[in-house]
């Protein structure tokens, strides 16, 4: 994980809240900045992928650490 990433803790939130919070957080970033999102909702895996495809942001990584899914998204 990059240390200069902005972070969003969406653990414990169910769909659609992780995506809604991600959309809001990424809107506050400059183009090229990275948002790291932590979520526990298993639906977030396909939701983050679809969100990035639809918005043009780049999904840099998607991994699972125990019961938490961690995504890094670069704002387009």
- Active-site hit among 1, 9, 12, 15: 15
Q: What is the DSSP string of 33-48?
A: -EEEEEE--TTHHHHH
Q: Is 15 a catalytic residue?
A: yes
Rounded CA separation 41/68 (Å): 8
- Strands (E) across 1-76 are located at 6-10, 34-39, 58-65, 68-74
Q: Which residues are catalytic?
A: 15
């Amino acid at each position: 994980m990059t240390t200069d990433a902005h972070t969003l803790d969406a653990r414990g939130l169910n769909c659609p809240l992780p995506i809604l919070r991600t959309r809001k957080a990424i809107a506050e970033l400059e183009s090229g900045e990275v948002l790291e999102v932590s979520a526990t909702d298993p639906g977030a895996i396909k939701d983050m992928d679809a969100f990035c495809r639809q918005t043009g942001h780049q999904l840099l990584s998607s991994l699972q650490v125990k019961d938490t899914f961690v995504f890094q998204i670069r704002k387009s």
